[in-house]
C-alpha cells in the first residue's frame, strides 16, 4: 500500500482484506481470507534536517583534548609525534587540530574553544589527566584555532610527558560544560576532539563517562596518531551496532563517538565549503560518503556528526524554532 492508500483506510475506517493464494488458482475466488488490516492511527510530522537547526541558530561548539603521554616520544627529537618542525611542516596533532577546527569554527559564534591536555606533569605538579592547555588554573578557553595551536606548542615546553592514557577525566570535563549549557537552555551542541597515540588504560571508566554523556548535547571525535594498536578505540565507536554499557549495566542512549586512525586516512585539505556540501548531501541521502581522491581525516570524522546531532534533538523533541 502507498502512504495515500493507508491514509484512505484510516479516514474511511474500512479494513483491507489480506488473502493467501490457494493451490487451485490465483483469482480471488480461490484465495483464502487470512486477516484484515485496519489503520488505527495516522499522523504526519515534520522531520527537521541538520541544516534546519543550523539555520535556526544552533551552534557546534568545538573543544579539544591532546595526549601528552610519554609514548609520544621526546618532543625535541624528530621521531616524536609531538616534534615541532622548524620548517613549519605540521605534525599529526597539529594537522588534526587544524583540519577539524578550521571546519567547526564556522559553526561557533564566539570562536573561544576549551582546550585541554592529559597524561603529563605540569611544572612542579603531579601528573594531570585534564589540564588547561593555556597554562591557566582558572579558565580553559583559547581564542580561535591559532590560539589552540599556540597553546599546544607552549605546553610542549612547559610540561613533562608522563602517563598513563586516561580519557575519563577530559570526557567528564566536556560533559560538565555541555550539561551547564543545557541547564541554560542554550542552542548549543558540543564536539570534543581527542587526539591520542596510545591504548587507553581506563577503558571501563571511559565507557561509564560516555554512557553518561550520551544523554547530553555532545559528540566525541577521536583521532589515533602513530602506529599503536587501536582496537579498544573501535570498541568505543559503536559502529557495529552494539551500544556501550556502563559498569552498572546502563546502556548508552545513543552513539556519540567516531574514531579514525590517522594512518588509515589519506590526508588532504578539506575546506569549509567541502564539509558544508557534505552536510547538505547528508540531509537527503543516508549512504556512505565516497570521495574520488580518498577521504580526509576531517571528512571521516564528521561523517556521523549530523546523525548524532539529530538523534539527540529528535529524542528530546527539540525543534529548530523552539
Listed residue (54, 57, 66, 50) closest to 221, CA to CA: 66
Domain with CATH 3.40.50.410 in the chain: 50-316
In this structure, are residues 89 and 101 in contact, taking their beta carbons and an 8 Å threshold? no
Pick the CATH number of 50-316 from 3.40.50.10310, 3.20.20.70, 3.90.1150.10, 3.40.50.410: 3.40.50.410
Confidence tier at 139 by pLDDT (50, 70, 90): very high
Query: 150-159, pLDDT tens digit by residue?
Result: 999 999 999 9
pTM: 0.82
pLDDT (0 to 100) of residue 289 = 37
**Sequential DSSP letters for 130-199:** SEETTS-SS--EEEHHHHHHHHHHHHHTTEEEB-----HHHHHHHHHHHHHHHHTT--EEEEEEEEESS-
Residue 183: cis peptide before it, omega within 30 degrees of 0: no
- Given a contact cutoff of 8 angstroms between Cβ atoms, the answer to whether 320 and 197 are in contact is no
Are 148 and 113 within 8 A, CB to CB? yes
- Bridge partners for 189 per DSSP: 60
CB contact burial 101-128 (16+ within 10 A = b; e otherwise): bbbbbebbeebbbbbbbbbbbbeeeebb
Tell me the pLDDT band of 276, cut-offs 50, 70 and 90: low
Amino acid at each position: 500500500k502507498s502512504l495515500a492508500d493507508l491514509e484512505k483506510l484510516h479516514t474511511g475506517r474500512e479494513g483491507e482484506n489480506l488473502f493467501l493464494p490457494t493451490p487451485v488458482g490465483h483469482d480471488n475466488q480461490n484465495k483464502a481470507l487470512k486477516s484484515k488490516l485496519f489503520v488505527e492511527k495516522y499522523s504526519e510530522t515534520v522531520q527537521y534536517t541538520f541544516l534546519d537547526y543550523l539555520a535556526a541558530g544552533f551552534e557546534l561548539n568545538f573543544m579539544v583534548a591532546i595526549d601528552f603521554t610519554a609514548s609520544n616520544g621526546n618532543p625535541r627529537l624528530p621521531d616524536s609525534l609531538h616534534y615541532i618542525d622548524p620548517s613549519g611542516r605540521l605534525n599529526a596533532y597539529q594537522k588534526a587540530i587544524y583540519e577539524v577546527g578550521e571546519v567547526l569554527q564556522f559553526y561557533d559564534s564566539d570562536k573561544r574553544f576549551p582546550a585541554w591536555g592529559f597524561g603529563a606533569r605540569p611544572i612542579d605538579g603531579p601528573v594531570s589527566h585534564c589540564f588547561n592547555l593555556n597554562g591557566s588554573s582558572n579558565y580553559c578557553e583559547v581564542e580561535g584555532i591559532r590560539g589552540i595551536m599556540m597553546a599546544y606548542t607552549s605546553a610542549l615546553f612547559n610540561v613533562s610527558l608522563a602517563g598513563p592514557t586516561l580519557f575519563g577525566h577530559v570526557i567528564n570535563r566536556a560533559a560538565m560544560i555541555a550539561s551547564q549549557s543545557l541547564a541554560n537552555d542554550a542552542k548549543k551542541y558540543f564536539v570534543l576532539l581527542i587526539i591520542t597515540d596510545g591504548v587507553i588504560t581506563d577503558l571501563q571508566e571511559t565507557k561509564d563517562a560516555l554512557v553518561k554523556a550520551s544523554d547530553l548535547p555532545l559528540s566525541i571525535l577521536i583521532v589515533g596518531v602513530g602506529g599503536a594498536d587501536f582496537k579498544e578505540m573501535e570498541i568505543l565507536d559503536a559502529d557495529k551496532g552494539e551500544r556501550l554499557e556502563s559498569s552498572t549495566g546502563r546502556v548508552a542512549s545513543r552513539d556519540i563517538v567516531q574514531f579514525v586512525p590517522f594512518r588509515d586516512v589519506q590526508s588532504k585539505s578539506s575546506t569549509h565549503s567541502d564539509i558544508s556540501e557534505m552536510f547538505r548531501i547528508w540531509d537527503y541521502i543516508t549512504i556512505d560518503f565516497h570521495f574520488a581522491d580518498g577521504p580526509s581525516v576531517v571528512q571521516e570524522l564528521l561523517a556521523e556528526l549530523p546523525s548524532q546531532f539529530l538523534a539527540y534533538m529528535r529524542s528530546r523533541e527539540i525543534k529548530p524554532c523552539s
